[in-house]
Amino acid sequence: MEKTHPLFSSIILLFSLLLALFSLLLPVYAFIPNLIERSIHLALVFPIIFLSGSGSKSIRSLFLNLLFTVLGMGLCVYLIIDFEGVLNQFGIVKNPYQTLMGLVMVLIVLECARRMVKPVLPTITLLFLLYALLGHHIPGYFGHVKYDLSQIMGMLYLTTGGIWGQLTGISANIIAIFVFLGALIGVTGAGEGFKKISLRFAGRLKGGPGKVATVSSALFGTISGSASANVVVDGQFTIPMMKKLGFRPPFAAAVEAVASTGGQIMPPIMGAGAFIMAELTQIPYLKIAVAASLPAIFYFFTVWMGIHFFAIRDGLHGLGKGEVPSWSETLRASIFFIIPLTVLIVFLLLHYTPPYAAFWATLSALPFTFIKLDWKFDRTFVRKIKEAVSEGASQVAMIASICACAQIIIAILSFTGLGVKISTFIIDFSGGSLFLTLLLTMVTCIILGMEVPTTAAYIMAAIVAAPVLIKMGIHPLAAHLFIFYFAILSAITPPVCGAVFIASGIAQTNWIHTARYSLRLSYAAFLLPFVFVYDTSLLLFGENWFDIPLCIIRTVMAMTLLSAGFIGQLRGSLTPLARLILLGLGTLWIIPNWILDSIALIGSTLVFLDKKWMYSEASVANKNEHKERGI
């Protein structure tokens, strides 16, 4: 980690505090024009990005960092000062200087994205810029009319259709305040509350430590929105606990990686992607959170069942009675996150905007910085607030750089008509087959997610693939959630699987073994997006009163049987034939057809009668031994 000079650390802290205050007050005083509001947002972000780590830089690098900071802020301030004039230009540059200003701003945004995330996103963006500039040389379908540099830069820099577009607005208006809310909840001791409530509910169950990791990661994921952050924070506690109680190191790491990855789809916050989804689909955020609740529950249900089956196989037990906190201790620690989340949900239910709800949730969380977990006055409250501001600002800077960079791609797709051309090409390539289109989309999301954060992967896939899926008759929310899920699942999909790498490092084990366990735990979860695409009842969109309960029953059966089949364990070790039968029955349960459901019901009934032919000889002998010993 590169060190930052004390002077620059103070400057970064100052701008982090200004960014936090601006983000906090924006929902209350939301009367600022879009161009000004988004310019202020990026102007506050630039120093945080470019001055970090400046202490160990050469004089040349330091000069460049200061130059990037001053130029970036200056270009933002120019738009604020000359707002009326810029507005009346309608994206048409007045002179070569404005073309140069636009070009410099684009390069600064690309450099921000390169520093905050991997080079893949700015590289893709650069290719789109080259397409806009040189695409008129491309013959045939994918060519476009000629645009000169001034037209492109005018559109990108001087209008809200370019860099200052919808995604940058989402970053400024919605995501920033939720990130600061999550950071504030995190420093108050909410993490300890997550651990205690998880230990209380799941600690003593079979394979309890693994199930504790599942519950804890689901809770922590509501405020972090990052698989990697979830693994780092949660894994330091859960992975050593699992190893201590007999979990194989790669399995312990896999449990944490898979559970932490699912934290991003857990309402009510769901990370930055959900807010972007709300804007792209024009569906209220609360409706998205409600619709996403059942798939999220089933994701963790699948992980839970996988842990349970592995626990049966390996003879893993729960924690001892003395290792589980009391109800009073659990409640005292849980209050630190229950109150802010309750305030957030209540305001959302009262139909206030998400940023306004987050404003009051943040205010309700602030008093807890003055209190320790034992409910005594905490003299270190200033340090905790400073930590929340710094951590929140760093996350906001990363998301802002992603949104601004991705906004360039969206602008060019619209400006050149490439988005419509790609959508039409995908439909033609798939021959109109919905299933093939879904598979292509899934692969695209996973590949993108291997190299960029979930938010960036979702944005890039959504702007191209979502219109295709919607055009083929899929509900807009189902289409976007499908893309969102697979952008998230890329965190545990080899060969580049960030959550697996981090968890393996904590467990000090081979990442390849961890990745194998991760896939076995989550195979069935990869099918969930296909379930709600073909049957939107899972998103609570049922046309009849019995559609949703029936879908829940079918999904429970499908996830249970598929998990058992993939892992090779039900009440004992399954034979290869039994595994194939369970996989087949699980697949039948997924398909919403009463004939197939009837076959699946009959087959499942026979399976749960516990026939001896389903289990290996060693497993049957072990069962008989347990019966004889009265176990």
> By C-alpha distance, which of 255, 259, 261, 263 is closest to 239?
255
Query: How far apart are alpha carbons 487 and 593 in whole angstroms?
Result: 29
Q: What is the pLDDT of residues 17-46, one digit of tens each?
A: 999 999 999 988 767 899 999 999 999 999
Residue 607: what pLDDT?
82
Q: What is the pLDDT of residues 58-108, one digit of tens each?
A: 788 888 999 999 999 999 999 999 999 998 998 899 999 999 999 999 999
The predicted model gives 297-325 an average pLDDT of: 84
Residue 482: what pLDDT?
94
**pLDDT band for position 1 (50/70/90)?**
very low
**pLDDT band for position 394 (50/70/90)?**
very high
The predicted model gives 254-279 an average pLDDT of: 82
Higher pLDDT, 55 or 168: 168
Of 287-291, 370-374, 419-423, 621-625, which gets the smallest average pLDDT?
621-625
- Beta-carbon contacts of 600 under 8 Å, excluding residues fewer than 6 positions away, are 557, 585, 588, 589
Higher pLDDT, 321 or 416: 416
Residue 77: what pLDDT?
96
Using CB atoms within 10 Å of the CB of residue 352, give its burial: 0 to 12 exposed, 13 to 18 middle, 19+ buried.
middle
Residue 627: what pLDDT?
40
pLDDT beyond 80 at 195: no
Residue 628: what pLDDT?
40
pLDDT beyond 90 at 494: no
What's phi and psi for 493, nearest 5 deg? -105, 115
Residue 630: what pLDDT?
35
Residue 244: what pLDDT?
79
Residue 73: what pLDDT?
96
Query: How far apart are alpha carbons 339 and 83 in whole angstroms?
Result: 41
Q: Which two tokens stand for residue 369?
A: 């910085």
pLDDT beyond 90 at 112: yes
Query: How far apart are alpha carbons 391 and 472 in whole angstroms?
Result: 42
Higher pLDDT, 1 or 200: 200
Residue 132: what pLDDT?
94
pLDDT beyond 70 at 564: yes
Residue 621: what pLDDT?
47
Q: What is the pLDDT of residues 122-172, one digit of tens each?
A: 998 999 999 999 999 998 888 889 999 999 999 999 999 899 998 899 899
Query: How far apart are alpha carbons 192 and 375 in whole angstroms?
Result: 13
The H or E element containing residue 151 is helix 149-158
Q: Which two tokens stand for residue 67?
A: 């130059």
pLDDT beyond 60 at 182: yes
Residue 30: what pLDDT?
64
> By C-alpha distance, which of 195, 210, 311 is closest to 252?
210
Of 17-31, 257-271, 377-391, which gets the smallest average pLDDT?
257-271
> By C-alpha distance, which of 193, 175, 196 is closest to 185?
193
Q: Round the average pLDDT of the chain to a whole number and report it.
A: 85
**pLDDT band for position 625 (50/70/90)?**
very low
